[in-house]
Structure 1
């Protein structure tokens, strides 16, 4: 029987999705790399250019009438008449009962970007010939492009059971494994995929992602380095390698990578915030503030919660001048105006975020000499939500400064009723009593805080308090 080319299909080009990363705390549970660039690659097109053969176990036979239809379709395709080729198959009464013609019709629809229609054609081809290997594989590809990974997986596996061992099948199976958190299986699939598609960057990216998820960041960073030697303007690669460097503990290398991506102008404001955190961890405070400032004043500024994270970070490092600058930027920015407003209809999560910002502002005002305004701000928060444990703890600090110790203790005891804040409130109570010279009374709340949240520094602090208490009460 004459062999006929079963039309290759070219996936429509899709814009690459950007990935946002949290660099300060690398995680193994990240999203898989974007698969979209695969559809436009030359290796993908070559992998889908196959020959229709005569293996009756995995391919339906073609009779003379079907062969004539395929010849007509091939002639129209050589003339770049895809519409005519689709019409030839769609209008022919043979197509509805022919697995081969349905498969070819699905291929043409897929090439034309009509993925939904292509899926139906492949499904009909499989209904007519259940062991049609390439129909299983190509249906799986279409389903992956539709992000229907659970539906795609059994068809990929079935195509492999029927003998498919090409890089595309294995690589996409790796992608599905990674999407479900099966990183060891993903790693094996990506490596096997590269045996027949060694130049496909998506499989190298998948391998690097899997290695990082399996706690092998050095190997992952090495692969990203190889990819960067060919694609130095790819900001995502610089950021991904930075993530690997952070998992190794090489913060300076991660900073260098993120700076390169930043200068390419291809990272978002939220990632610039993360770069600022890294600078702050290296005590490069001015560089951190510059990053935060850039992120808050960008054309598309950082999300409100990320902006607050920046102020929080500077507050933890007691960089009050920088923290106040950022707080003022947020307060005066039209981009954040809606986030700073509240009404009875405002969702609770948004109210909690706004309260967080108000608390941080109050703390900054307290530390920069504007304690009166700060106290008023926190009092308003407690009035709005008497069960807001964070605000109760902060208000207790103001009452202590005002020498209203009994009221401060009452606020901390009230905050401790919230299980999530009990440890922090008890610790604050013990520390306040210590500052007040009541060492023996400080011991029990400090012990309670230590039981709830073990901390070596708190343990040392408690021992010191106990020693002083013993000296005071021999």
Structure 2
């Protein structure tokens, strides 16, 4: 029984390491200033007669005046001229150009309204659909943006930025294969765009092509070493591949450039723990909590759980103190549970840890993890009957049931109740089939046969 991983309890705390990049990276602020995007957007001022509203002589004259003001650097005067003209509200083309100017001035809500007005007046206005999609992406309205970007493509838009933003929206919705296809289309005309390379890498990660994604991110990081998000993404891929030392090296670059935020530094600390370098881990943690960008509670709790699982108590206590200092008011249950486990498992104040667990159970009698941990504590102190009762209560809670059955099996084996232990393992296997538990059952069955 000693071979069963005792890390189980920490996973149940909800403190497991969040090392996978499940969420899509946001578009870099530099994307909106990228020459390729600017060129593409500026091209939307050009009229394309096949898919655009007809512009009257009067409207064309106004557009010429607006263009002259823009060329002279008087964009605000150009914007005012369009707003003041009685022609604008009646013209899809003028309303569209009003939207462009509002966009360039950073007035996103006004730009969105203008593009919507242009489309209402002329439903097949390709550039209006495309630019409305751009505005909606910037507003994080990805589902709405997707509709207009797809319409733009249907109307013949093949611009790399259009396909890239369409891919980004697909990525945000978890449509990895469709996003990858759209990113590939974006790369046809914009092969060197960093955003599209990073997007492809994220898709490849989710489609389990990690090696290719890592190689692609090497290119991205060379071009944008100052943007730490790409290094964090590559590190998560390397972790999935089991290349922990390479993941450390990847994160060290933005750390030295002072670009790694608190969460990144805590992740780096955890990786150093995995590499059995606790001193380095402590140093990175001190940096994480003393910097401008403090780590999130979730990230810190994840690494706290890992530190406990590998019995690095000094690191764990540092993290516990730092997280407690972040909390205002009453500590959340997860933090109190973590403290209880730390006090018990480190062996310094097990009675205090047990007292914390009892308080948690008094507050919520269905707290499966607290029941499980208190049951284990009572058994360790020789109170097998009380401990088993607590474990049985934990089997009634979905999140802790499988591990509670495993602990019951361990207790029954220790008491030479092999048949009863086998039944407990079978209950655990119903909830968590296969893996090492199945191997353990086979060994236990032989032991039960030998004892009978």
Change (3 A) 1:221 1:72: same
Report the CA distance between 1:120 and its aligned residue: 2.4
Name the SS for the 1:38 alignment partner.
helix
Aligned to 2:214: 221
Q: How far is 1:369 from its partner?
A: 4.4
Output the CA distance in 1 between the equivalents of 2:274 and 2:129. Answer: 51
Indicate the residue corresponding to 1:17 in structure 2.
Answer: none
Answering whether residue 20 of structure 2 is matched by residue 26 of structure 1, we say: yes
**Aligned counterpart for 2:130 among listed residues 128, 137, 142:** 137
What is the aligned partner in structure 1 of residue 390 from structure 2? 411
1:92 to 71, 85, 88: 85
Aligned to 1:432: 411
Give distance in 2, aligned partners of 1:326 and 1:140: 43
Whole-Å Cα distance in 1 between the matches of residues 45 and 360 of structure 2?
Answer: 72
- Give per-residue Cα distances to partners, 1:144-197, cap 9 Å, x unaligned: 222222222232222222222111222211112212222222222222222323
How far has the Cα of 1:253 moved from its partner?
0.9
Q: Which has the larger radius of gyration?
A: 1
Partner of residue 240 from structure 1, selected from 233, 239, 245: 233
For 1:68 and 1:434, how far apart are their aligned partners in 2?
Answer: 91
SS state at 2:191 partner = coil
Gaps of 5+ in 1: 1-21, 341-349
The answer as to 2:370 corresponding to 1:391 is: yes
* Larger relative contact order (Cα-Cα within 8 Å, sequence gap ≥ 6): 2
Cα separation, partners in 2 of 1:51 and 1:112, compared to 1, 3 Å: closer
Q: Is 1:375 the counterpart of 2:354 in the alignment?
A: yes
Q: Are residues 1:197 and 2:190 paired?
A: yes
Cα deviation for residue 462 of structure 1 reads 4.6
Say which of 338, 349, 363 aligns to 2:344.
Answer: 363
The RMSD of aligned alpha carbons is 3.0
**Kept in 1: contact 2:17–2:306 (CA 8 A):** no
Could you give the per-residue CA deviations for residues 265-306 of structure 1, whole angstroms, max 9, x where no partner exists?
Answer: 222323333223333333444434444454456565433443
Q: Deviations over 1:418-438 (max 9, x none)?
A: 243233222222222333454
Relative to the length of structure 1, the TM-score reads 0.81
Instruction: Provide the secondary structure at the position in 2 that maps to 1:338.
Output: coil
Query: Which structure 2 residue ranges, 5 or more long, are not aligned?
Result: 1-15
Rounded to whole Å, the distance in 1 between the matches of 2:336 and 2:400 is 16
Q: 1:128 to 1:372 in 2, by over 3 A?
A: closer
Q: How many residues align?
A: 437
Aligned partners of 2:365 and 2:79: how far apart in 1? 68
